[in-house]
Homo-oligomer: A and B are copies of this chain.
Amino acid sequence: MKNHIFTAFSFCLLFFSQAILAQQPLLGFKNENAASQRTLEKNFDSNLKTQNLDVWMKKLSAHPHHVGSPYDKENAEYMAGLFRSWGYETTIDTYHVLFPTPKVRLLEMTSPKRYKANLQEPTLKEDATSGQKSEQLPTYNAFSIDGDVTAELVFVNYGVPADYEELEKMGIDVKGKIVIAKYYGSWRGIKPKLAAEKGAIGCIIYSDPKDDGFYQGDVYPKGPFRRENGVQRGSVLDMPLYPGDPLTPGYGATKDAKRLDRNNAPTLTKIPVLPISYQDAKPLLEALEGAEVPASWKGALPITYHIGPGPAKVHLKLAFYWDIKPVYNVVAKMKGSEYPDEWVLRGNHHDAWVNGAADPISGMVALMEEARSVSELTKTGWKPKRTLVYCAWDAEEPGLLGSTEWVEDHADELSKHAVAYINTDGNGRGYLSAGGSHSLEALMEGIAEDVIDPQTKVSVKDRKKALEIRQNGLENYKGFRLYALGSGSDYTPFIQHLGIPSLNLGYDGEDDGGEYHSIYDTYDLYTRFKDSGFDYGIALAQTAGRATLRLANADLLPFEFNRFAKTVSEYTEELVQLPEKLRTKVNRENALIDAKVYELTQDRFKQAYQPKRKAAVPFVNFAPLQNAVAQLKKQSAQLQEKLNANQLNKNQMEEVNLLLKKSETFLTNADGLPRRPWFKHFIYAPGFYTGYGVKTLPGVREAIEQNDWKETAMQIDKLSKIIGNYNRFLEQMTGVLEN
């Protein structure tokens, strides 16, 4: 009974607050247009139906649909048909990319005992599509080179830089060895890249049960976590160098494009790489001897983890079909009524490693329902002011190939027309996860206040706030923030190559599982354990749909620069702290070495642990950057005082909108980042040694992290100038508003 009263009361509150909402100002809208936009969004919401998501997910994930598969093409055509039926001007933009598939996969331990890896994911009677053996891609890492190597095995934890530092202190070298690394801790492609740099001749990656297996929860089909024989497929292309087709760097992989010789393609691995299950990893790890692993390296297998090298010796033999395969990007446009040359882009990929119900179909179907609902709105005569471009990318999985080739191929048009790109890539259950350009943070906060969490009936901003308060305490809540974009999905070419303001949206936090890139990422698993009922799919459509509709309809583009300036200022403060922290760490370690602490605490029965003295960390001149950032805060504050749709005439509005559209490009530089010119954004980039993980102010940050003090100074200079140019651009916009 009490519950009913509470619900009724909540409903009144909700109704009341919605009524208030309709009168509130809306970022980028004149007051007279804000109310109609809210009504539009209300109608948009009311069109959304969970059942469509369910039906489409079942359909799109009914068969494996990786690049080059018949069902991949069938899905593209099916979606294109739907978009057309909803009134979108739809094309399938096709490119031709290198896409290797396995010819030979052999992994065996040759001593101290023999074990031949199974490399198979079995059919489960509880999962309807898991038995589609003839259609499934075998378990492999795309863009591993061919190879046939035999060597002693070494366990390298996650295979990230910190792990190799630890190995060095123990005097363990991987030169000439085959390494075995756990998944997680970095994007997978970092593991063979770093192993090869350290001299290893082969790389095995396995899913330790600690990370997404029984340690995390019940395994499939009892729960959603990875079974002993589940394997994570995935690309190991060196994406931090450049994503997309490895043979056509920087330009579209059209049919007749000039292609690099595969042997000269720099983004293929240098050593053969194979992913395996923990069932296959266990005998290998069990056979390792030598030093026991540091405590933080331990996984959840019921063994004592040793590092080796050896006595386990393994033979790894891999060969691939190095075919050129077509990729089918579905591109659906709805022309803008007032500014047809201003494009708001919205995308999700459609290709999967196998059936891919969660990754990527759960996001794809939310996008489709969003597009359908938008098309419903047009039946009443409404049209978006700006052009909408809905995209279903192909070939995201092997390395963002579909989106990257399309973006490279359409770079000029996009530079002229694109206002923003809104990405999704799968969806789950729980909390809004929103990343992107910080000039869009205020927009997204407004949206997060307006979208209602389907379970708790508070705003998705408030539910997320509750989570952060629970995790970090009331006193540490920092307000609604966008995370910075690294890589790992199709926003990368938009923001990092072209400087188009981007967002990446999804719901997660209550949908953990271990089906990722396995044959068990299926409709059956998704509807049992993830967003069963698809109500968070609807929440995603509401969230991304609002972003799309507000960007499309705003009188004044809803960019906000104080948040951006504040964020860059925080990143700068982090950078200033970095050498301090490094200095403290190095000094502390050197002091321990000088005090013979490691010698005196050496257990005589254990592997010697002998860190070497490190060079002192120099003091760095951050002043140019700090001055530029101080100016940025001042300039953005001045701009924001004037940037109000209600105070501008139509001419000013149009002039400013054109400038606003270009603003993010001033954060890029044609030279790009050191050693990877494809990446042109100087505020956000994926880390050279993290892969997906973002490095903010990457030029400076990575120079510091690599202890390259000369490059640090050069990059501080470069970044200061870029921010200086940006400041002048903000000043120019302010000037327009003052006239």
Contact = CB atoms under 8 A, between A and B. Distances in A.
Interface of A: 209, 214-219, 223, 225, 292, 298, 300-304, 430, 455-456, 458, 462-463, 466-467, 469-470, 473-474, 510, 529, 588, 591-592, 595-601, 603-605
A562 B292 CA distance: 44
B304 A302 contact: no
A209 B469 CA distance: 35
Given A301-B302, A466-B597, 5 more contacts: A215-B298, A467-B600, A467-B601, A474-B595, A510-B605
Nearest to A603: B510
Q: Which 4 A-B pairs have the closest CB atoms?
A: A466-B600, A302-B302, A510-B603, A466-B597
Q: How many copies does the complex hold?
A: 2
Contacts of A430: 603
A218 B456 CA distance: 48
Contacts of A605: 510, 529
A436 B218 CA distance: 47
Contacts of A302: 209, 214, 300-302
A303 B298 CA distance: 16
A592 B474 contact: yes
A428 B215 CA distance: 34
A645 B610 CA distance: 47
Contacts of A592: 469-470, 474
Contact of A595 (B216, B466, B591): B466
A469 B218 CA distance: 41
6 contacts: A214-B302, A215-B304, A301-B302, A466-B601, A474-B591, A529-B605
A59 to B, nearest CB: 26
Contacts of A474: 588, 591-592, 595
A304 B219 contact: yes
A601 B456 CA distance: 9
A371 to B, nearest CB: 29
A108 to B, nearest CB: 24
Nearest to A223: B304
A225 B467 CA distance: 40
Contacts of A597: 466, 469-470
Given A588-B474, A595-B466, A304 B600 contact: no
A26 B217 CA distance: 61
A229 to B, nearest CB: 14
Nearest to A604: B455
Nearest to A530: B605
B595 A304 contact: no
A463 B603 CA distance: 12
A469 B588 CA distance: 10
Contact of A600 (B225, B462, B473): B462
A458 B219 contact: no
Contacts of A219: 304
A588 B470 contact: no
Given A592-B469, A592-B470, A303 B214 contact: yes
Contacts of A469: 592, 595, 597
Contacts of A214: 302-304
Nearest to A457: B600
Contacts of A466: 595-597, 600-601
Contacts of A225: 304
A679 to B, nearest CB: 36
Contacts of A588: 473-474
A218 B529 CA distance: 37
A471 B330 CA distance: 58
Nearest to A298: B215
A596 B463 CA distance: 10
A48 B292 CA distance: 35
A512 to B, nearest CB: 10
A297 to B, nearest CB: 12
Contact of A458 (B473, B600, B603): B600
A328 B470 CA distance: 58
A7 to B, nearest CB: 13
Given A215-B298, A292-B217, A470 B601 contact: yes
Given A301-B302, A302-B300, A302-B302, A470 B218 contact: no
A348 B300 CA distance: 39
A603 B223 CA distance: 15
A219 B302 CA distance: 11
A9 to B, nearest CB: 14
A476 to B, nearest CB: 11
- Which one of A301, A529, A597, A600 has the greatest number of beta carbons of chain B within 10 Å? A600
A721 to B, nearest CB: 41
Nearest to A467: B601
A300 B591 CA distance: 36
A214 to B, nearest CB: 5
A599 B456 contact: yes
B304 A218 contact: yes
